[in-house]
């Protein structure tokens, strides 16, 4: 018989065609979402508390302006994203699509695990691998999330690879060491995933022969995976750097006196004030937040939740029926069809079915053996949020587990149905549904209106970055009094910037007077806004006074923006040295700030420091490779630095493409004539 006979072809089609169709469907869904998503300004202009931080760090790595060091996020995802930026040349559609496909392919190891146990079954359980794959790949909130810049998009493939090596046969010390390495890389991506390798190690300690050797191999592999990221950061910083800063704060957020188990503090005034307290107390962040948490346990305030009530809330919140949105996400606005689908209760249905499956089959040894890795993943994500803090996006690693367990429940058929069997199954489903849907009483999205406002502010910021500040008044309240004090400063800044960009100075002056009349916004925010208003209206002395006051207390990217605006003011006053100092400070605070590098280069050119100017322009062009103006600046600085051949080679592609403006053509003529 031919190796490609009809029976063989039928077997191959039966084996691979359904899964291939599922993957194609998943790819089509993600392309459809991207085609719709790119009409929004947040597609190209990334805004949001977490997504912009990941993106800016990745830009800095890709451009060579950033250095490895301590951060509030794990380091591996920005490095992965930087690789995509270098690979695609910065094309946003390509970056988002490649990331979405890589994340989607995490389905492959999980499906292979299920195939090992269920493919040869003769009952309907043989369809379990493909049912799981279809639900997982086509899950609408996951389709949308995988096109966003979240660490969980990389975390899913790493966890799936770890699960594959853990579930391999035979389970050897080598396979478990490789599993541990992937677990360590997952921890370097999102440290909350540490609970998964911990549960794997504990599971191995209670299993058969050589358990100590296997669990040790897994643990050492995990340490190696973490060490791969910790070592370069520590070497670059000259001291030991943990995989992530802010872990103690997250523990405090979920366990201190006024904790409710959620990420209850949005980015804004309260967030900033809390993060200043360790320095004010003369302690490190870790020492302060751990000490404050312990003190609140010893002497809880009268209106604090009891330990039992807080524990109950933290136990049910990880499986709340709400979807995957957080403070840093605009998908809650439902501007695309997949974002609108994500506002339904898909996760609630899957989570309820998963809990029912555990109740019904948890005592069966075969179930625990075949679904072990999914049960451990489910428990690890649940435990991590119970110990620290619950957030919609933090439960994304739970999705493979809930998809697999829900599919198991859906396909399971009892050998003999009786009224008692049916009653037990219905009771288990009811218990799961009551836990999942009853958790809405404690859900962090009871502040849904505030999250909507935050999402609208990110959209307004993206419109402004895209050159359309006219959208801000329609998206944001007209007065900072109309929003909570904790976020009033952000909304005030956005309205002020919009008014100034639209030359609506009367509106801007009215906002300033309102902010000055009460304790609505932080002094730093007010001073920065007043400085820009004075600069735009010609009050140079007043602008300098306000900018200096703002820079005394500002930090991070906000300080970078203030320093940049102050530098522009100095540049307009022909103070090149003063402007250069401010632009370099801005670039140091935000290495992804292309405009700061550009203006630093202009200042260096005016000071006849051409080699340094060329380097500044090169960094600016690396951050924004599609900007012909930055390319012309780089070519000019390179030419004046005495490297005319290099300048000609830089300009030639632009001239030949026909996109050169008059300045580029003039420089080209000058260079070619001199040559």
User: For residue 368, what are its two tokens?
Assistant: 């625990």
Nearest Cα residue to 141 out of 365, 332, 357: 332
Neighbouring C-beta atoms of residue 218, cutoff 10 Å: 28
Nearest Cα residue to 268 out of 443, 450, 393, 442: 450
Domain borders along the chain are 6-242+325-441, 247-319
Helices (H), 362-418: 365-370, 372-387, 399-411
pLDDT-flagged residues of the chain (< 70) = 1-13, 208-210, 415-417, 440-447, 674-675
Sign of the torsion angle spanned by Cα atoms 84, 89, 95, 98: negative
First-to-final CA distance of the chain:
73
Neighbouring C-beta atoms of residue 388, cutoff 10 Å: 22
pLDDT at 445: 44
Long-range contacts, 334-343 (Cβ 8 Å, 24+): 335/40, 335/459, 336/33, 336/36, 336/37, 336/40, 336/144, 337/33, 337/36, 338/29, 338/32, 338/33, 338/36, 338/140, 338/141, 338/143, 338/144, 339/144, 341/140, 341/141, 342/140, 342/141, 342/144, 342/145
The model carries a pTM of 0.92
What is the Cα–Cα distance from 209 to 205, expressed in whole angstroms? 9
Q: Is 321 helix (H, G, I), strand (E, B) or coil?
A: coil
Measured torsion, CA atoms of residues 636, 638, 643, 647, in degrees rounded to the nearest 10? -60
User: For residue 150, what are its two tokens?
Assistant: 């979240």
């Amino acid at each position: 018989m031919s190796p490609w006979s009809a029976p063989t072809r039928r077997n191959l089609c039966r084996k691979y065609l359904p899964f291939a169709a599922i993957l194609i469907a998943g790819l089509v869904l993600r392309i459809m979402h991207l085609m719709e998503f790119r009409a929004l300004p947040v597609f190209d202009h990334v805004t949001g508390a977490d997504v912009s931080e990941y993106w800016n760090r990745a830009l800095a790595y890709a451009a060579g302006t950033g250095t490895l060091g301590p951060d509030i996020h794990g380091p591996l995802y920005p490095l992965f994203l930087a690789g995509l930026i270098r690979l695609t040349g910065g094309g946003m559609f390509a970056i988002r699509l490649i990331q979405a496909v890589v994340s989607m392919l995490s389905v492959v190891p999980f499906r292979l695990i299920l195939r090992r146990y269920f493919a040869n079954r003769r009952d309907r359980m043989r369809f379990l691998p493909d049912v799981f794959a279809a639900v997982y790949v086509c899950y609408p909130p996951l389709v949308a999330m995988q096109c966003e810049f979240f660490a969980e998009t990389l975390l899913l493939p790493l966890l799936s690879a770890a699960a594959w090596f853990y579930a391999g046969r035979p389970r050897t010390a080598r396979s478990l060491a490789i599993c541990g390495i992937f677990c360590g890389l997952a921890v370097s991506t999102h440290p909350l995933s540490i609970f998964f390798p911990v549960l794997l190690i504990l599971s191995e300690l209670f299993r058969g022969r050589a358990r100590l050797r296997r669990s040790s191999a897994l643990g050492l592999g995990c340490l190696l995976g973490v060490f791969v990221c910790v070592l370069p950061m520590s070497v670059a910083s000259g001291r030991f750097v943990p995989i992530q800063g802010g872990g103690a704060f997250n523990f405090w957020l979920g366990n201190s006196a006024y904790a409710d188990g959620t990420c209850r503090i949005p980015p804004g005034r309260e967030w900033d004030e809390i993060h200043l307290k360790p320095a004010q107390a003369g302690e490190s962040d870790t020492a302060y937040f751990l000490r404050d948490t312990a003190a609140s346990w010893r002497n809880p305030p009268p209106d604090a939740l009891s330990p039992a009530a807080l524990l109950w809330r933290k136990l049910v919140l990880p499986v709340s029926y709400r979807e995957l949105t957080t403070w840093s996400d605009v998908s809650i606005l439902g501007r695309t069809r997949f974002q609108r689908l994500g506002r339904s209760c898909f996760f609630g249905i899957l989570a309820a079915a998963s809990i029912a499956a555990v109740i019904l089959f948890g005592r069966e040894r075969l179930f625990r053996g075949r679904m072990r890795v999914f049960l451990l993943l489910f428990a690890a994500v649940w435990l991590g949020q119970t110990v620290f803090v619950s957030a919609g996006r933090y439960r994304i690693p739970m999705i493979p587990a809930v998809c697999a367990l829900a599919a198991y429940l859906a396909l399971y058929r009892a050998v003999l149905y009786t009224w008692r069997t049916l009653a037990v199954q219905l009771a288990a489903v009811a218990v799961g549904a009551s836990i999942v849907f009853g958790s809405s009483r404690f859900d962090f999205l009871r502040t849904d209106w505030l999250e909507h406002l935050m999402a609208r502010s990110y959209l307004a910021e993206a419109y402004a970055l895209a050159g359309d500040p006219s959208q801000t008044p329609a998206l944001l309240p007209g007065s900072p009094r109309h929003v909570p004090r904790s976020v009033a400063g952000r909304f005030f800044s956005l309205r002020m910037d919009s008014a100034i960009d639209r030359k609506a100075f009367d509106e801007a002056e009215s906002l300033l007077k309102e902010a000055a009349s009460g304790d609505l916004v932080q002094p730093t925010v007010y001073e920065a806004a007043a400085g820009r208003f004075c600069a735009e209206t010609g009050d140079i002395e007043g602008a300098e006074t306000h900018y200096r006051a703002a820079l005394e207390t500002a930090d991070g990217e906000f300080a970078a923006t203030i320093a940049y605006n102050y530098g522009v003011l100095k540049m307009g006053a022909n103070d090149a040295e003063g402007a250069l100092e401010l632009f370099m400070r801005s670039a140091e605070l935000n290495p992804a700030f292309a405009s700061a590098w550009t203006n630093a280069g202009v200042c260096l050119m005016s000071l006849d420091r051409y080699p340094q100017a060329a380097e500044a322009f090169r960094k600016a062009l690396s951050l924004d490779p599609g900007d012909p103006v930055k390319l012309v600046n780089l070519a000019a600085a390179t030419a004046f630095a005495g490297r005319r051949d290099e300048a000609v080679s830089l300009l030639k592609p632009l001239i030949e493409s026909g996109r050169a403006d008059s300045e580029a053509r003039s420089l080209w003529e000058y260079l070619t004539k001199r040559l």
